[in-house]
Amino acid sequence: MNYPKVTLPKLSDVIVRQLEKRILDGVLKPGDRLPPERQLAEEFGVSRPSLREAIQQLASRGLLSSRQGGGTWVTDRLETAWSDPWEKLLHQHEELRGDLLEFRRVLEGTVARCAASRATPADLERLQRCVDKLQQAYSGGDLTEQARADVEFHQAVAEASHNVLFAHLSGSLLSMLHRHVKDNIANLFAVGEVAEALRDQHLAIWRAIRERKPSEAQLAAERHLDFVAGTLQSQQQQTERDERARMRLAQGSPER
């Protein structure tokens, strides 16, 4: 009887899959530096040449970046591969921002629902820390810190969904928004009543997840995005009115 030959995977390929999994799971995030080569080889129980070969494979695919004398870093390739072309389009076509918020509403509602069903005790502990940061940021009145804490909270919810595509897509969207719509986010926080509403909305999402109520978590996330979209629209309309009024005043035309 002829048995099929057993083909064993190359050791470097096994290491590649292990590192890929850490990146996909968010254990290794963009900007993170890998442990020193000796430490990582000992952790995997492999030789340093096999580890180097694995790192070179991932670097050639753009997932890792090695710097001479500076170690190896996780790139943001998974996020920017999607967001790069959209960033310029969103900057040039403001009407796309409504579509983006509508997309976020669907995504984050589903993400919150999954998080309420799947979050582990470690996820809940991380979310609690994010909520504490949010509370401190609101109390301190630092708009930049509030925007940063807002992004961290939403990303922690996405990762608690335990769906790697949700987590990475959410990370890409949130990073893009933080870089290019941060002025709008800061304007939201700057208004006292709006800021209080946003805090309450984040707490509602958190409570629903903590209490394992998927439907309530989804509804809370959707209401939050509806509120953000509505508030930004109102601010944009007010900005346009102010601009028209200034133009009329500059031309000596009475207001109507």
| Cα 55 from Cα 49, distance rounded (Å) | 10
Q: Are 225 and 103 in contact (CB under 8 A)?
A: no
How confident is the prediction along the chain (256 residues), in pLDDT tens digits per residue?
A: 676 766 667 888 889 999 998 988 888 888 889 988 889 999 989 998 999 899 999 988 888 998 766 789 888 887 777 677 777 777 777 777 778 888 889 999 999 999 999 999 999 999 999 999 999 988 877 777 888 888 899 999 999 999 999 998 888 888 777 665 455 555 565 666 788 888 899 999 999 999 999 999 999 999 999 998 888 777 777 777 888 888 888 887 555 4
Element (H, E) at 64: strand 64-67
d(CA 226, CA 104): 10
Reported pTM? 0.76
The pair of three-digit structure tokens given for residue 139, joined into one six-digit string: 């109390």
Q: Within the chain, what is the greatest distance between any pair of CA atoms?
A: 99
Q: What is the pLDDT of residue 188?
A: 61
DSSP assignment letter at 33? B
Q: How far apart (Å, rounded) are the C-alpha atoms in residues 212 and 162?
A: 15
Residues of the chain with CATH 1.20.120.530: 79-229
Counting every residue, how long is the chain? 256
Count other C-beta atoms under 10 Å from residue 244's C-beta.
11
Superfamily of chain region 79-229: GntR ligand-binding domain-like (1.20.120.530)
Tokens 């629902």 belong to residue: 113
CATH code, residues 11-74: 1.10.10.10
| Contacts for 213 with CB less than 8 Å, ≥ 6 apart | 116
Is the Cα dihedral 49, 52, 57, 58 positive or negative? positive
Give me the pLDDT at residue 119, please. 97
Domain with CATH 1.10.10.10 in the chain: 11-74
Give residue 173's identity as a one-letter amino acid code: L
Q: Report the pLDDT value the prediction gives residue 192, as an integer from 0 to 100.
A: 65
